Amino acid sequence: MAAGVATWLPFARAAAVGWLPLAQQRLPPAPGVKASRGDEVLVVNVSGRRFETWKNTLDRYPDTLLGSSEKEFFYDADSGEYFFDRDPDMFRHVLNFYRTGRLHCPRQECIQAFDEELAFYGLVPELVGDCCLEEYRDRKKENAERLAEDEEAEQAGDGPSLPAGSSLRQQLWRAFENPHTSTAALVFYYVTGFFIAVSVIANVVETIPCRGPARRPPREQPCGERFPLAFFCMDTACVLIFTGEYLLRLFAAPSRCRFLRSVMSLIDVVAILPYYIGLLVPKNEDVSGAFVTLRVFRVFRIFKFSRHSQGLRILGYTLKSCASELGFLLFSLTMAIIIFATVMFYAEKGTNKTNFTSIPAAFWYTIVTMTTLGYGDMVPSTIAGKIFGSICSLSGVLVIALPVPVIVSNFSRIYHQNQRADKRRAQQKVRLARIRLAKSGTTNAFLQYKQNGGLEDSSSGGEQALCVRNRSAFEQQHHHLLHCLEKTTCHEFTDELTFSEALGAVSLGGRTSRSTSVSSQPVGPGSLLSSCCPRRAKRRAIRLANSTASVSHGSMQELDTLAGLQRSPAPQSRSSLNAKPHDSLDLNCDSRDFVAAIISIPTPPANTPDESQPSSPGGGGSGASSTLRNSSLGTPCLLPETVKISSL
């Protein structure tokens, strides 16, 4: 956890005084505090430059080099200072992190060097503050890309190797997507590119008029009609190649539906379909007109080049992302066109032999004028028409010229915005993950501490004290605080797993009659203990009786439950408590074996006296529950011995 909070620990502990009158159990004793808690000034000598700071400042982050005992390795006893043979300029930033809690990234330093310093001092790069985080990441990404490019250039020859057992399909797909991976793929790539070009050029050339053979009226004919067979053969060849390519891609695609819906495959289909339709359509006069129109679609073959060109793809993407701006431009233009066309029409209405026969006819004039083309095929003749015509051309300059830079800047803005939004989303995720990690870290530390038996009385053996002693003073006090809260509320912190188990078990009508399990903690003169949760337990008992467990071994449970309700209390574990009659159903707050007890339900009820499970010193909790769970799942009918053993 970000232990810059260490400075506020006294406050949190002091405020815990507010819980004292409410605590129903005795609160644990405070951890022993080191004798000298006075603050002192440490001198850190980094390559000759001396930095001085309070010890408490460095202690704020105990999981770094300077905050932990690791710095003792660098302590020079003769001079009484900590000596680091590192860059003093970078150290300034590191030290400022301790002082302010924010890690800033130096602008003029190499990002790699900064990273290395961070790694040395035990700071994770995620600690970089928000003000510098974006720049830090950008520079890191640049660096990484540059390094990656160098690496790629080195390994120009070898492509990414597929796992040995990859099928033909996968290999084929990889060949299609990355033509550079194998020679065959490269050849195929160039062949298709060549044929696309050939097809496009053929389409173009077949409309050029060639001088026909010497005929009586020397008539010019488009080449396509002069050499129909040649063009037809060429067309057929190209279409065959394209069809073959399309079918191969379809076969190799990992997800055929997605492939079918993709833009490139649509373009492929549109490119080859006219040919087949042309084949199928009988050659009669009515349909051939439509057939000719279809041939227009052959020009879409040129879009197949976008597989071969990265630039085309980027252009297409940017157009798509600026669609709204383009749409707005079109809309405003349309408005202007309609307005001016109307005006011109009515202005020129009276003239004889005017070109402005209708408003839609005037559209053409307006567009040509506004875009300053001025073909001159339609000109106004009235004075009013000329006036409005000039206004139209002047406003055309404005209307067209203004949005274009806006659109251009929108392109770049939207492009960068998308990049930044993705970055921010990633950063947010990282930040949330960091916070969650810190929180879970704290909780886990405490739970770990509990599991290691840290909460036992110190009188019960010094061996286990070793494993819990290597916590900082701050951690000790913080854990003591959390422990006090547990005692005040009679509940314990657990992790998600145990909680969900307990939740599930309770909803099954988990029994509490097993509460004769010995508490794993020494029970003091806790006359308050029994009064802690009597009513809660009673309610649970009632719920038990009415429970309709929906789980598979529910019926057995119910039987046990009903039988258990009439059982007499087995007070051996709770000898120190006043054994009130309803205490048998009490849920001992200290009992860690609650979950253990629940899962041991399928035991036949006759074995009550053996149910008092020996106390597991602190190892209870999740450890016992998991082992029990295994055993209970394995053998639906547990013997008491099994239960006892597995609970250890």
Site for another protein in 45-84 (CB under 8 A): 54, 56, 60
Residue 552 beta carbon to another protein: minimum distance, rounded to whole angstroms: 22
CA distance 329 to 406: 10
Q: Which two tokens stand for residue 633?
A: 């799942």
Segment near another protein (CB under 8 A); pick from 27-35, 171-179, 245-253, 370-378: 27-35
CA distances from 92 to 39, 50, 103, 139 (A): 22, 11, 10, 20
314 belongs to the binding site for another protein (CB under 8 A): no
Q: Which is nearer to another protein, 39 or 149 (CB)?
A: 39
Of 357, 363, 361, 375, the C-alpha closest to 339 is 363
In the range 102-141, which residues lie near another protein by CB under 8 A? 102
Residue 1 Cβ vs another protein, minimum distance, rounded to whole Å: 7
Q: How far apart are alpha carbons 434 and 440 in whole angstroms?
A: 10
Closer to another protein by Cβ: residue 378 or 484? 484
Site for another protein in 561-600 (CB under 8 A): 587, 589, 592, 594-595
Answer yes or no whether residue 327 interacts with another protein by CB under 8 A.
no
Tokens of 623: 């450890």
Rg, the chain, Cα only: 41
Indicate whether 27 belongs to the interface with another protein (CB under 8 A): yes
Residue (124 or 260) nearer to another protein, CB? 124
Q: Pairing between strand 209-211 and 81-84?
A: unpaired
Residue 430 is a binding residue for another protein (CB under 8 A): no
Which of the residues 609 through 648 are near another protein (CB under 8 A)? 621
Q: How many residues bind another protein (CB under 8 A)?
A: 76
Rounded least distance, CB 251 to another protein, Å: 52
Interface segment toward another protein; rule CB under 8 A; list 28-36, 150-158, 267-275, 367-375: 28-36
Q: Which of 25, 521, 573, 608 binds another protein (CB under 8 A)?
A: 25
Beta-carbon count within 10 A of 496 CB: 9
Name the one range near another protein by CB under 8 A: 25-33, 168-176, 272-280, 393-401. Answer: 25-33
Are 522 and 473 a contacting pair, CB within 8 Å? Answer: no
Q: Which positions from 84 through 103 interact with another protein, judged by CB under 8 A?
A: 99-102
Number of Cβ within a 10 Å radius of residue 599:
28
Q: Residues 6 or more apart from 458 whose CB is under 8 A from it?
A: 465
Q: Write the CB contacts of 287 (distance below 8 Å, at least 6 apart in sequence).
A: 281
19, 188, 246, 297: which one binds another protein (CB under 8 A): 19
Task: For another protein, give the closer residue by CB, 123 or 343.
Answer: 123
Q: Which long-range contacts (CB under 8 A, 24 or more apart) does 324-330 make?
A: 325/403, 325/406, 325/407, 325/410, 326/407, 328/403, 329/403, 329/404, 329/407
Query: Please, what is the minimum distance in Å from the beta carbon of residue 445 to another protein?
Result: 10
Measured between its terminal Cα atoms, the distance across the chain in Å is 33
Q: Pick from 296, 432, 433, 503 the residue near another protein by CB under 8 A.
A: 503
CB of residue 30 to another protein, shortest distance in Å = 5
Touching another protein, residues 436-495 (CB under 8 A): 438-440, 442-443, 477-478, 481-482, 484-486, 488-495
Closer CB to another protein, 284 or 546, in the complex: 546
For residue 111, which of 84, 135, 147, 76 has the smallest C-alpha distance? 135
Q: Amino acid letter at 358?
A: S
Angle between helices 183-205 and 168-177 (to 10 degrees): 60
Which residue lies nearer to another protein by CB, 13 or 139?
Answer: 13
Q: Which of residues 240-279 bind another protein (CB under 8 A)?
A: none
Residue 598 in contact with residue 505, Cβ under 8 Å?
Answer: yes
CB 552 within 8 A of CB 636: no
Cα–Cα distance between 12 and 7 in angstroms, integer? 10
Tell me how far, at minimum, the Cβ of 6 lies from another protein, in Å: 8
Per CB under 8 A, does 296 bind another protein? no
- Tell me the closest approach of the beta carbon of residue 517 to another protein, in angstroms: 13
Query: Exactly one of 531, 555, 578, 630 binds another protein (CB under 8 A); which one?
Result: 531
Least distance in angstroms from the C-beta of 7 to another protein? 3
Q: How far is the CB of 647 from another protein (least distance, A)?
A: 16
Region near another protein per CB under 8 A, out of 6-14, 110-118, 295-303, 326-334: 6-14
Q: Minimal distance in Å, beta carbon 130 to another protein?
A: 10
CA distance 308 to 193: 7
Q: Does residue 523 interact with another protein by CB under 8 A?
A: no
99/258 with CB nearer another protein: 99
Return the range that interacts with another protein (CB under 8 A); candidates 202-210, 381-389, 529-537, 562-570.
Answer: 529-537
Query: With respect to another protein, which residue has the nearer C-beta, 181 or 488?
Result: 488
Residues 6+ apart with CB under 8 A from 439: 1
Alpha helix segments (H runs only) across 182-321: 183-205, 223-226, 228-252, 256-261, 263-280, 285-296, 310-321
Q: Residue 602 CB, nearest distance to another protein (Å)?
A: 21
The answer to whether residue 8 forms part of the interface with another protein (CB under 8 A) is yes
What are the CA-CA distances from residue 252 to residues 62, 177, 269, 273 (Å)? Answer: 55, 10, 17, 21
Please, what is the minimum distance in Å from the beta carbon of residue 440 to another protein? 8
The answer to whether residue 5 forms part of the interface with another protein (CB under 8 A) is yes
Length of the chain: 648
Residue located via tokens 């961070």: 118
Residues within window 165-184 making contact with another protein, judged by CB under 8 A: none
Under rule CB under 8 A, residue 418 binds another protein: no
